[in-house]
Amino acid sequence: MVSVRRYLHQHPELSFEEKETPAMIAAFYRELGVEVKTGVGGNGVTALIKGGNPGKRIALRADFDALPIQDEKDVPYKSTVPNKMHACGHDGHTSTLLHLAKALHAIREDLPGEYVMIHQHAEEYAPGGAKPMIEDGCLEGVDAVFGTHLWATEPTGKIQYRTGPIMAAADRFEIKIQGAGGHGAQPHKTKDALVTGAQLVTALQQVVSRKVNPIDSAVVTVGSFVADNAFNVIADSAKLIGTARTFNPEVRDLVEKEIGRITQGICLAADCTFDYTYFRGYPAVVNHAAETDYLVEQARHISDVKEIEEAEAQMGGEDFAYYLEHKPGTFFFTGAKAPHVEKPYPHHHPKFDFDEKAMLIAAKTLGASALNYHN
């Protein structure tokens, strides 16, 4: 597991650019003699392990894309590709699933049912790889689907679960403001797009604080505000880019509507025009109750699992959501805090790393869930 994970870590590939990674995954299965399909929904790979006895068909999923981040760790397995890095643990997810599949294949004659190994591309960048893989049939005949995320901010040995929403819908919005630029000494002859944008950044804070029910959760963040000019020029145009995170579909609709309404009002007051686009990303990850309870029960019987905890809902996004819209299942976190680190670097950080022992815990938990679901 460690060897394969480190190889992948040294050779990262970005979303929708994956070529060598799926080829390596397919070669791994072919060497085992396992039925494998490539090019599933784009760059995805699926493998099918058939048990020797009747039973259900269980799907297990791991993602394998990297991020456009420069690896700043001082380790022997540091990324060899400039500005590309596995900064979220997908290399670990992939090695976990490959070696779980190898173990299942070794005892296949004694197993009930069938096991679909879903190796998914492009989780990090919407529209993602899950949806096209599903459309290409990766969930055909599947009775349940399970997935985990190595969670580097929690101790190794901890399993975190949650029934219902566990990760948020992740959307993006862009607002382009068009004013009338001019000389900084003659503001009365202009329509200041920068000032209008600044008012809009402030006003958008009211979407969550004054429009969303406090019982619900939502985030509206403006992450980029560009109105680049010389010091003595009033901006002709400005562009704001941000993200919205929600769990409730009705709140999601409300946030999209309110951002547009506030933008319209601010720009009208400033006599500026605007272009507002709201891009819907992944829906919320909503775990099924029966499968989540079942997962918790399986985790209790794994000796390496020292703690099982109900997780707080996370505002991060995950396209595992699409699998759960089609099939019963659950998505959980496997603690993977890097050893000898008091304060671990967060996911998507240039120095991100995780405890490789957590891969074995993830494999055992996923494996137990897959094997015992037939009972």
Point out the residues that are catalytic.
65, 123
**Are the beta carbons of 314 and 169 closer than 8 angstroms?**
no
Burial 83-121 (b: 16+ CB within 10 A, else e): ebbbbbbbbbbbbbbbbbbbebbeeeeebbbbbbbbbbb
How many Å from the N-terminal Cα to the C-terminal Cα in the chain? 29
What does each C-alpha distance from 35 to 78, 120, 213, 363 come to in angstroms? 32, 17, 50, 20
Nearest to 167 by CA among 286, 334, 328: 286
Residue 238 makes CB contacts below 8 A (sequence gap 6+) with: 176, 177, 179, 193, 194, 196, 197, 225, 226, 227
Cβ 19 vs Cβ 45: under 8 Å = no
Number of H helices, E strands in the chain: 10, 16
Strands (E), the chain: 35-40, 44-50, 53-63, 112-120, 144-151, 158-161, 164-167, 169-178, 182-183, 218-226, 233-234, 237-246, 273-282, 285-287, 307-310, 329-335
Q: In 3D, which of 63, 160, 143 has the Cα closest to residue 328?
A: 143
Q: Which residue has the tokens 């679909």?
A: 116
**Do 309 and 158 meet the contact criterion of CB atoms below 8 Å apart?**
yes
Closest Cα partner for 143 from 165, 119, 113, 100?
A: 113
Beta bridge partners of 172: 243, 279
* DSSP-derived secondary structure letter, 191: B
Q: Which helix (H) or strand (E) holds 132?
A: helix 130-135
Q: Any residues with CB less than 8 A from the CB of 24 and at least 6 apart, and which? A: 7, 8
Helix (H) or strand (E) holding 300, with range, is: none
